[in-house]
């Protein structure tokens, strides 16, 4: 079954709606519990996450763990965290931690996630949630058995713009969706020690960068019925670049591009039978989009810009508040990015990587 949004019956319309929907916001201080967080892996994304959480949420980061106590201590000092630890085990053993944010290299996401689940913690795991669909299924099964919430840190799902886009799709404003286009390419230094050039760390373009276009297509059109991928591998054995074409039910198609060799526009488009929605770069960051009617190409264009003032990595705060809200509601997974969809997205990436490796 598709995992994306249900598409309403295409509407007969000669013009765009008079106004765009209001976003549903994961606003802090709206009844969600103030959870006590521990961070595992004090790297650059954890640094941005900690800044966003401290500035824009009611959540509390109380501990950080690293294999290097010096790194943990420096991170704690920067972010006003009371406790620095030199092992994940020490952090997980503490009863005063409710949720663990895992920001380590992706090859360790499964093991740390399972350990956190076994310790009774809720878990937010950086994308990709694991390095394969099989691993994601193991994690999902463990989370459901333990009754804790496990969520991928796919921050774009919790941004205000995503709420508005989902409403437009559900309301059938774009009509029958025909095409999704999205790309994410970065010029990653050709350093053999860089994590994206190391297969043992889960490197390559698709898992780390391409997951954004793939999850976007999944949100709009659901699980693909066919995956076709062309690209190339590096000498180190990771996928360097690829074009992935996904076929979906109802004759819809997604064309997705990713690369670690060059920066691309990093934009996205959804084209339907009634209207086209174009998301500005960087499409998975807080940004703006335009909606234009196919029935009247010379007519007005509706433009949406984020009204909250939270731009760039400040937007990481939305996912932290969302997780706390879900915990307060007694949920064990995200309703807008389910564990089943995590598995489906990684299955798509698994197939694409397999085809590229075999070509």
Catalytic residues: 127
Q: How far apart are CA 250 and CA 22, in angstroms?
A: 29
Q: Do 158 and 322 touch, CB atoms closer than 8 A?
A: yes
Percentage helix, strand, coil for the chain under 3-state DSSP, each rounded to 5: 35, 25, 40
- Quote the CA–CA distance of 316 and 192 in Å, as a whole number: 29
Tell me how far apart the alpha carbons of residues 104 and 359 are, in angstroms, rounded to a whole number. 31
Rounded Cα distance, 46 and 54, in Å: 12
For residues 12 and 140, what is the distance between their CA atoms, to the nearest angstrom? 41
Q: How far apart are CA 184 and CA 293, in angstroms?
A: 26
Helices 69-79 and 44-56 sit at what angle, rounded to 10 degrees?
30
Q: Which DSSP letter does residue 209 get?
A: I
């Amino acid at each position: 079954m598709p995992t994306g949004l249900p598409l309403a019956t295409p509407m007969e319309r000669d013009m765009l709606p008079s106004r765009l929907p209001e976003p549903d916001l994961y606003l802090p201080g709206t009844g969600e519990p103030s959870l006590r967080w521990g961070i595992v892996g004090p790297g650059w994304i954890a640094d941005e996450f900690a800044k966003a959480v401290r500035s824009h949420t009611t959540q509390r980061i109380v501990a950080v763990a690293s294999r290097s106590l010096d790194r943990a201590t420096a991170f704690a000092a920067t972010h006003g965290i009371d406790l620095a630890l030199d092992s994940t085990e020490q952090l997980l053993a503490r009863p005063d931690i409710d949720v663990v944010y895992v920001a380590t290299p992706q090859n360790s996401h499964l093991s740390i996630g399972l350990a956190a689940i076994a310790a009774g913690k809720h878990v937010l795991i950086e994308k990709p949630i694991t390095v394969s669909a099989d691993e994601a299924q193991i994690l999902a099964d463990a989370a459901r058995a333990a009754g804790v919430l496990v969520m991928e840190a796919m921050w774009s799902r919790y941004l205000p713009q995503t709420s508005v886009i989902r409403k437009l799709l559900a309301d059938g404003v774009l009509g029958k969706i025909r095409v999704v286009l999205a790309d994410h390419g970065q010029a990653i230094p050709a350093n053999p020690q860089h994590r994206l050039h190391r297969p043992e760390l889960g490197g390559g373009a698709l898992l780390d960068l391409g997951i954004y276009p793939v999850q976007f297509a999944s949100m709009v059109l659901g699980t693909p019925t066919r995956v076709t991928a062309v690209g190339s591998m590096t000498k180190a054995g990771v996928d360097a670049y690829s074009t992935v074409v996904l076929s979906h039910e109802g004759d819809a198609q997604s064309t997705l591009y990713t690369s670690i060799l060059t920066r691309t526009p990093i934009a996205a488009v959804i084209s339907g039978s009634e209207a086209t929605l174009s998301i500005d770069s960087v499409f998975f960051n807080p940004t703006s989009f335009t909606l234009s009617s196919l029935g009247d190409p010379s007519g007005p264009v509706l433009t949406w810009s984020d009204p909250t003032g939270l731009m760039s990595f400040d937007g990481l705060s939305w996912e932290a508040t969302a997780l706390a809200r879900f915990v307060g509601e007694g949920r064990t997974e995200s309703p807008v990015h389910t564990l089943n969809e995590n598995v489906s997205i990684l299955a798509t990436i698994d197939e694409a990587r397999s085809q590229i490796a075999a070509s």
